[in-house]
Amino acid sequence: MSVKTLWGSRVQEYYRKMFRYYAIIGANVFYFFLIIGSVLIYFFHLFVQWLPPELAVEVILSLIVTYILTQTKVRTFVEKADIPFLLPLESRLTPYFIRSLLYSWVIDVSKLVIFLTIFISLFLDTTSLHLLFLLFIVAIAGFNIVMKWIEQWLENRIQLLLHRLNRFLLLYFMVYFLLKDDWMYVLIFMSVHVVYILYFMRKRRTLNWLWQIDEEERGRLKNLRFINFFIDVPI
């Protein structure tokens, strides 16, 4: 198997396995999301009505969206057994990891568009989905993926904590001002994001393979634990 075809074969292998599980629980998953989604929307509606008038709905929605973004996993489909074989080929694996970042980015964009389409149509009369709004969503998801990717090079827990706090605040304010239709502030916070990323990425760095494997394991286990609600699967 060549380096060029490695990513595609890994993704196919992963989805072939997941498809077997979801083919069994497909109808159950649909009804699960339908029921849980309806219940959550109902209680969120009650919560919004309970909120004091001076507390904008955008504040709560921004917190929820930011939380969703901070749960992002960069899926690389690498495994522990890959280290002896792929480590010597690291310099040739740039296209592989670019595809992984793009894949994770598309997943993030899809989640955000679905969530915001539902909640904006139900709770925000002042905000509408249009091309510029969607472009900002795409950009915010991209920033989030890059910020997550940077975590592999942080050297200690203090750096990680500060980085995650910075990431959370930047994402929150971008989403908040996006929902408020304050495009100028969104651009300002995006500029801060760009400066931060460029500053951090100014040095050429090698991949942290242990982080890559741990990140992939967490993403895989998260999916399997969800499936385990419906059928027994090996975790």
pLDDT in tens, 97-108: 999 999 999 999
Q: pLDDT at position 103, please? A: 93
Domain annotation covers residue 61:
yes
pLDDT of amino acid 97? 92
- The average pLDDT across 208-212 equals 91
pLDDT recorded at residue 172:
92
In a domain, 187, yes or no: yes
Total domain count, the chain: 1
Q: Is the pLDDT of residue 235 over 70?
A: no
In-domain check, residue 232: no
Give me the pLDDT at residue 27, please. Answer: 66
What integer pLDDT is reported at residue 214 of this predicted model?
92
Residue 109 has pLDDT above 70, yes or no: yes
| pLDDT score at 98 | 92
Is residue 233, in this structure, part of any structural domain at all? no
Mean residue pLDDT of the chain comes to 82
Domain presence at residue 17: yes
Q: What is the pTM of this model?
A: 0.84
Rounded to an integer, what distance in angstroms lies between the CA atom of residue 107 and that of residue 96?
A: 17
Examine residue 157 and state whether it is found in any structural domain, yes or no: yes
pLDDT digits (tens, 9 = 90+) for 41-91: 777 777 667 766 656 778 888 888 899 999 888 999 988 888 888 888 888
pLDDT tier at 171 (50, 70, 90 boundaries)?
very high
| pLDDT for res 41 | 74
The reply to whether 41 falls in a domain is: yes
Whether 234 shows a pLDDT value over 80: the answer reads no
The domain in which residue 90 lies consists of 3-227
235 lies in a domain?
no
Residue 148: per-residue pLDDT: 93
- Cα(80)–Cα(68) distance, rounded to whole angstroms? 27
